Structure 1
Amino acid sequence: MFERDSVNLNILKKRAFNLRWATVQEGVIPLTAADPDFPSAPEIAEAIIRFTKDRYLSYGPPAGLPEFKESVARYFAVKRLIPAVPEFIFPVDSAAFGIYLTCKAFLNPGDEAIIFDPVDFLFRYSIEAVDGIAVPFAIPPGPAPVDFERFEKLISNKTKLICLCNPLNPTGKVFTREELLKIAGLASKYNLVILSDEIWSDIVYSPHLYTSIASLNEEARNLTVTVTGYSKSYGLAGLRIGAVMAGNQVHYDRLFEVSLHGSTIHGANVLSQIAATTALNECDYWLNDFLCHLQQMRDLCDRELNSIHGFHCIPPEGCYVAFTNIRGTSKSSLEIYQLLLEKAKVAVVPGAKEWFGEGAEGYIRMSFATSEAILGEALHRVKSTINSL
C-alpha cells in the first residue's frame, strides 16, 4: 500500500500544488508541504462516488451532517478519551480556518495570544488577521524541559489565548501529560482559552503517547477549543475538511456565530464531510499501515541526515517532518535551501521567520510522507551535495 509503485508521479505533477510536485521544475523532488504522496484509502473515493451517483448535491445542515458530527465525537471519545458530544462539534473547511476562527471568536484588537516558537506560521497569521498580538514562547527541538516559569511571565492582563500545537509542527515534539497539566493549570489560573491544534495527533511514533489536553479533566476541557483536520492522517488536503470542538455551550455558540456557517456565506461542503466520515469510520487499517511506513521513513531520515557533515536532526516524536539543524554548515537556512534546490534538485522548507518564527533560523524542514525510493533518492542527493562543500 505504501510501496514505491503506490506513488503516481504523473498524477501528482498535475494535482499536487502548494509547493509540491505540480509547482516545482521537472527533476526536483519536493520534500516541502506536509501532504502525503500516496493515494487515499479506496473506501473514501467509493463513498464519494456512492453519494454523487444520485446527482443531488444540495446544501447540508449549517452545523454539519449528523453522521459527520457523530463520527468526530466518537473519534474523540474512543481515541482521545474526551467525553465529546456531537452538539459541540461542527465542520470547517480546514484546520487552518479552525485556528483563524478561534482567534476571531476570542480575541479583540490588542489582545495577546501566546504561540510557540518555532511553530507553523498560521498561528501568527490568524492572530494578526484579527488585530491581535502574537507573543512567542521558545520551545527548542528535542526532549529539553519546557520552561514554564518563563511561560507564565509572558502572561499579562492582555493575554486571552494559549495556542497549543500538539504534536508541534515543525519540531515534532509531543507534549507529555505532565506538560499539558501545567499548561492547563496556567490557563485556569489566568482564565485563558486554550486553542489546541491536534491535526497531527494521529502521527505519533513509539514509544511516545499522545494526550489531548481536553481529556485531562473537566476544567481543562471547559477552557479548550480543539481544532483538527484530515489532511495529515488521511491525505484529504484538497477536500479541505476539518472540525472544531468546543468544551461548552457558550464557546460553541460564539464559534458558530463568527464562523458564518449559519448563512450561505461560509461552510464545509457535503462531499468533504462524507469523505472524512468514511475515513474515521472505515479507514483505521489504512492509517495504521501509513504510520508503520512513516516510522520507517523517520528512521531513514535519522540515519541519513545525521551522517551529513554539518547536519543534526533529532528524530521527531510526532508529525512526518524532519526538522534539521544545519548551523554546522556555516550557512543560513535560506542559503542551504537555495543550494539544495539548485544543486541537489531537492526542495525543502527553510527555517525562515515567515514560515515558523525566529526560532527556526538555522534549520530546514523536510516532509518524509513519500515512498522509500523517492525519499532515499532525495536524501542521497542532499548528502552528496552538502558533503562536497
Structure 2
Amino acid sequence: MFENHTINFDILKQRAFNLRWATVPEGVIPLTAADPDFPSAPEIAEAIIRFTRDRYLSYGPPAGLPEFKESVARFFQEKRQIPASPELLFPVDSAAFGIYVICKAFLQAGDEAIIFDPVDFLFRYSVENVGALAVPFAIPATDEAVDFDRLEQLVGKKTKMICLCNPLNPTGKVFTRAELTRIGELAVKHNLIILSDEIWSDIMFKPHVFTSIASINEEIRNQTVTVTGYSKSYGLAGLRIGTVVASNTAHYERLFAASLHTSTIHGANVLSQVAVVAALDECGYWLEGFVSHLQRMRDLITTGLNSIEGFHCRTPEGCYVAFTDIKATGYSSADLAARLLSDAKVAVVPGSKQWFGEGAEGFIRMSFATSENVISEAIQRIKQNLNS
C-alpha cells in the first residue's frame, strides 16, 4: 500500500496544494505540508460513494451525525482511555478550527495563554485572533529536559489557558505520562484550561507510547478540552474534519455556542463525517501499515540528514516531520530553504517565526509521509547541492 508505484504523482500535481505538488515548480520535490502522498484507504471512498448514491445531501444535525458521535466516542474510550460521551463532543470543519473554537470559548481580550515554542503557528494565530496574548514556553528540540519550573513562572493573573500539542509539531517530541501529569497538576492548581491538540496521536514510533492528558485522572480531565483531526492519520485534509471533545456539560455548552453551529454560519460537512466513521471503524489495518511504513521512512530520512555536513536531526518520537538543526551550515532557515528550492529542487519549510515561533530559527522541517524513492532522491539532491 505504501510503495512508490502506489502514488499517483499526476493526480498530486493537480490536487495537492498547500505548498505541495500542485503549487511547486515542475521537478521540485515538496517535503513541506504534513500530508501523505499516498491515496487514502478504499473503504473511505466507498463509504462516501454509498452515502451519495441516494442523491440526498441534506443538512446534518448541528451537533454531528449520531453515527459520527458514537464512533468518535468509542475511539476515545477504547484507544485513549477517556470516558468520552457522544453528547459532549461535536465535529468541526478541521482541527485548526477546533483550536480556534476552544480559544474563542475560554479566552477574552487581555487574557493570556501559554503556547509551546516551537509549535505550529495555529496556536498563536487562534489565541491572538480572540484578542488574547500568546506567551511562549520553550520546549527543547533536543533530549534536554522540559523546564517545568519555568512553565509555572509564566503563569500570572491573566493566564487562562495552556496549549498542549502532543505529539509536538514540529519537533516530534512525545510527552511522557510524568510530563503530562506535571502540566495537568499545574493547570488544576491555577485553574487553567488545557487545550490538548492530539491530531498527531496516531503517528507514534516504537518504543514511544501516546498518553492523552485527559486520561490521567478526573481532576485533570475536567480542565481539559481535546481537539483532534483525521488528516494526519488517514489523508483526509481536503475533507476538513476534526472533533472537539469536552469533559463536562458546562464546557461543552460554551464550546458549542462558540462554534456557531446552531446557525448555518459554521458546521461540519456530512460527507466528511461519513468518511471519519469509515476510517475509525474499518481502516485500522491501513493506519497500522501506514505507521509501520513511516517508522522506516523516519529512520531513512534521519540517517540521510545526519550524513550531511552541518545538519543535525534528532530522531522524532512521533509525527512524520523531521526537524533539522542547520545552524552549523551558516545559513538562516529562510536562506537555506530558498537555496534548496532554487538549486536542489527540494522544497522544505523554514523554521521561521511565522510558521513555528522564534525557537524554530536555525531549523528546517521536512515531511516524510511519502515513498522511499522520493526521500532518497531528496536527500541525494540536498547532499549534492551543499557539497558543491
TM-score of the alignment, normalized to the shorter chain, above 0.5: yes
1:118 paired to 2:118: yes
Deviation at 1:200? Answer: 0.1
TM-score where L is the length of structure 1 = 0.99
- Give the secondary structure class of the aligned counterpart of 1:142: coil
Matched residue, 1:7:
7
| Residue matched to 1:67 | 67
Distance 1:117 1:129 in 2: 18
What is the CA-CA distance between 1:263 and the residue it aligns to? 1.2
| 1:375 Cα deviation from its structure 2 partner | 1.1
Give the corresponding residue for 2:95: 95
- 1:35 paired residue number: 35
What does 1:306-325 align with in structure 2 at a 5 Å threshold?
A: 306-325=306-325
Q: Kindly indicate whether residue 355 of structure 2 is the aligned counterpart of residue 347 of structure 1.
A: no
Distance in 1 of aligned mates of 2:316 and 2:356: 16
Identify the residue that residue 367 of structure 1 maps to in structure 2.
367
Mapping 1:193-208, distance limit 5 Å: 193-208=193-208
Aligned residue for 2:249? Answer: 249
Amino acid at match of 1:355: W
Q: CA deviation at 1:269?
A: 0.7
Structure 2 counterpart of 1:356, one-letter code: F
Which residues of 2 match residues 1-389 of structure 1 at below 5 A? Answer: 1-388=1-388
CA drift at 1:309? 0.4
Which residue identity is paired with 2:218? E
Q: Deviations over 1:297-347 (max 9, x none)?
A: 000011100000000000100000000000110111011101100110000
Query: Structure 2 regions of 5+ residues with no counterpart?
Result: none
Cα deviation 1:167-222 (Å, max 9, x = unaligned):
00000000000000000000000000000000000001000000000000001111
Q: Deviations over 1:81-108 (max 9, x none)?
A: 1111101110000000000000000000
TM-score (norm 2): 1.00
Give the deviation of 1:141 after TM superposition: 1.2
Q: Which runs of 4+ in 1 moved over 3 A?
A: none
Whole-Å Cα distance in 2 between the matches of residues 333 and 173 of structure 1? Answer: 20
Structure 1: which 5+ runs fail to align? none
Deviation at 1:387, TM superposition (A): 2.1
Paired AA for residue 151 in structure 1: L
Please give the alpha-carbon distance, in whole angstroms, between the structure 1 residues aligned to 2:40 and 2:112: 39
Partner letter of residue 210 of structure 1?
Answer: F
Instruction: Read off the aligned partner of 2:46 and give its amino acid letter.
Output: E
How far apart, in 1, do the equivalents of 2:294 and 2:142 lie? 19
The amino acid of 1:5's aligned partner reads H
Q: In structure 2, what residue type is equivalent to 1:42?
A: P
CA distance in 1, matches of 2:54, 2:329: 59
Give the letter for the 2:42 counterpart.
P
Aligned identity (percent) is 73
Report deviation, 1:268: 0.1
2:129, 2:194 → 1: CA distance?
18
User: How far apart in 2 are the matches of 1:372 and 1:224?
Assistant: 39
Shift of 1:143: 2.3
- In 2: Cα distance, 1:54 partner to 1:379 partner: 48
Please provide the CA RMSD for this pair.
0.5
Secondary structure, aligned partner of 2:222: helix
